[in-house]
Structure 1
Amino acid sequence: MRVDLWTQKGNISIFACATQMCFFLILGATECFLLAVMAYDCYVAICDPLHYPLVMSHEVCVWLVVGSWVIGMPVQVGQTCQIFSLPFCESNQINHFFCDIPPMLKLACGDIFVNEMVVYVFAVLFVTVPFISILGSYSRIISTILKLPSNTGRTKAFSTCSYHLIIVFLFYGSTSISYKMLSLFYTILTPMFNPVIYSLRNKDVTEALRKFLPKLLAL
């Protein structure tokens, strides 16, 4: 996709298009589940800190991460096969940044109502359900933080989940505002910013930025 945007050629084979869509769907579903898992991690850390080592043990974390990756793979592979099994008899030009489901369905012939319903159901399961779980976790987190007696405790508790909250806002916010125009944002810029944002919690990275930014501004 990045090569196509740079060269402005935009030619892609059917197989490459299907592969691109499949990876996009798998990685998108995985990120939704991982964000939900991380929200639950923040919830346990803030709302039940004494039981955190037991509830979020190493084994549990491994299973949650593996589950986030595995649960969406067969479904999204099947959904990709379903989309590309449709007959395409109109224009072969995709009015989009990459091979995604809505622009591919616009090129399909015949009745696609069932396909659209399947896409809707999977969108609810793999996007909406994790988002609702994130909202549920943060509603409890915010309620717990507001009950803390000191400002220092509230600040420390909020800093525990603030970086994850930024990622959630970037990911879900960009997709909800405008799916088509901002798809470039959440497929390229959001993954690029993720490690930067999470690295801000690292003391060495923070100290390096404090030394680098004044020099940069002085130029």
Structure 2
Amino acid sequence: MRIRIAFSAVLTALGLMLLTPVAAHAHGDTVKVVVTGQRTGHVTADITWENDGDAVDETVAATVNAISVDGSRAMGPWRLVRDPAAAPAGWTTAETLPPGSWKVSVDVGFPALGHGDLEVAVPVVDPAPGTGAPTASAPAPGTPTTAQPSAGTPSAGAPSAGPPSAAAPAASTAQVPAAETEGYAVWWTTAGVAATALAGAAVGLFLRRRRMRRRLG
């Protein structure tokens, strides 16, 4: 009898435990939105529960709007998506902001209300190195190339050694070697002496004949 009573009490306690609803952990009715900045132009934000600071596990319905500081440009509305490169509370945008200073605001409507804003500066990204001035590349096979003149090869502008002109032989023939000139001078000297000797002999012979004629006459 006592065993049946004890068994019935255990079953009743188990039933009460199963039927009693488990009290849910209350996060509150608002979320905290902190815009943390940007990463390569993507807006980043952390969203947590206002009361306990836990990350929001549910799907978040939020819109992102951005206005340039001078008010000339506006971006959005964009939606937030999970940021796999951040903590569980991290969210980001799939779209990117162009370079400049922006006033970014994030408004959350689900699972609770929340708002956050921040002024974000997106820097200008320099081009990757190696995309500057093109370098000279080797010519493709079969492409004719212009041969460069070497140090030993006369260029087209330099005068080439051609055949001697017609005046060269005349100049060479007009010039008499010094040895031949001396020979000519010796010959003319010898001829002059011989002519003088013959002339002297002839005059002497003429005078002798004249004297002999005077004596005979």
What's the TM-score bracket when you normalise by the shorter of the two chains?
under 0.3
Is the radius of gyration larger for structure 1 or structure 2? Answer: 2
> Higher helix share goes to which structure?
1
> Higher strand share goes to which structure?
2
Normalization by structure 2: what TM-score?
A: 0.20
